[in-house]
Structure 1
C-alpha cells in the first residue's frame, strides 16, 4: 500500500518536506526554517520597537518647544500594541506591517506639523487672546502688499515667550518678526525677491525660533530646503 505524499517544497531550502504555512507571507516552511522565519519576524519586531524608542526620545526633546499632545497619545497607543504583541508572541507579517505603517504615519505627522508653533511658556498669551470677547488683528490687516505693515498670504507662524510673532510671509518670500503690540514688522530673512540665493526664499511655509541658539529655522518649500 502506497504511503500518501503530504510533503511540499519548503520556501527556504527548496526541499520536499512536511511544511507549515505562514499566514502572514503565505509561504510554506519546513520545521527548521519555520523557526528561522519566526526569529526573523522577532528581529523585525525588535527593530520596530527600537525605531519607536528613537521617535519617543525625539518627542521628549521637542516638548519644550511645541504642543505635541496628540502625537504623543498616538505614540503611547502604538507602544501598548507593541508590548501586547511582545507579550503574546503570536504575530506575523500582517501585524508587523501594521506597526511599521503606523509608526511611519506618526513620524510623517511630526515632520509635517500644523502651521502654528507656540512656545510652551506662551500659554498666558493664548489665554489672554482667548479671554478677549472679540477677534482682533495682531499683525497685518492693511491689505495685500510688501510694506512692513502688510502681509501676502501668511502661512506658518511661531509665537515666542515674549509674545513676538514670527510669520512665514509665503507670497512675499520672507520671514517677518512682528513684536508684541506693534504696528509693523521687521524682515529677518528673505525679502530680496523670489529665488534660491542664500539671501532669498521661495514660498517659505514654516518658521521655528531656537531662542537658546538665537537662530531661526525655515522651511523654504519651493527651494526644497530647510535653512538655519
Structure 2
C-alpha cells in the first residue's frame, strides 16, 4: 500500500516547511517563523505587563477627590447658611406673632376695663351688659390659659433634602374692612360668583312679628323681651349673595343682623345660639353665639339701608351701611355654623320694621 507524506504550510512564508504547530492560534510555522511568533507573543505579554503596572499606579492616585470634597464642603456651608437664615426668620416671625397676640389681648382688656368703669360710674348697665362682660372675661381667660395658637410646621412647599420650617399664626375670626378694600375684592369676582338675591323673602318668625303678604317686610308688635326675630327663605352654601334691607322704623337701640345654620329653629335668644354670627347694630360683634367687645354708638336709624353680604366661597359674612359708608366682616367657622346658612334679624321694640329691598 502506498502512502503520501503531506507537509504543512508555514503560516508566515507559505512554504512547505511547517514543522511546528502553535496550539494557541492553531497555525503551523517553519522553524524560523515559529521563533518569531514566540517573540511576538513575548512582546505582547510585556505590553500587557506595562499596562497592568500603569493601571496599578492610577488606582493608587486620588487626583479628582479634592474637587469633589470641595464641592461637598461648599454644599455643607450653603445648607448651614440656609438653615440659619430660616431659623432666624422663624424666630422673628414668632416674636412678632407673640407680641401681636399679647398687644391685642392688652388692648381688649384695657377696653373692657374702661367700659366697666364707665358703666359703674354712670350706673347705666343691665343684665345684658353683665352677661356680656362675664363672657368676655371667660374668653380672655381661655386665651391666656390655653396652649399657644402659634404653630411651627415644616414647609412642604420647598423641595429640599433638608426640610425647612415656618411659623404661622392663627386666622383672625373677626375682620374690619374698608370700603376701598371691598371694592377691590368685588372687582376680582366673576358675575357668576356675585349674586343679588331678588327671590329672598321673610318666611319664618318667632314672637310677636307680623310679616307682609309679599314676605318682604316684618314688623315687631311687642317689646324687646319677647325675643321677636325673623329669618329668610333663602339657603346659602356657595357663591356671593347680596341682600339689601331698608330700616322702615327703628325705635330701639339695637337690632341683630346676621346668619344661623338653616337647621336652627328660631328662639327668643336667637343671637345666643351656637351658629349665630352677626352684629348688634354695627357696634357689637356676635361670633358663634357670643357677643364680642364693641361700642354703644348707635349707627342704624330709621330710613337707613344696609346690605348683608354672604360670601360662602370665602366663608365670610359682611354688613355694609350705605349711609355711613361702613363695612364690617366676620370669618365663619363652618364647624360652628355649617352650610347652608339663612339670614336672621332680631327686632327689639314695638313698631320696629325692616324691609327687603329688591
| TM-score, L = length of structure 1 | 0.38
Could you say which structure has the larger radius of gyration?
A: 2
Higher RCO (CA < 8 A, seq sep 6+): 2
Higher relative helix content:
1
| TM-score, L = length of structure 2 | 0.26
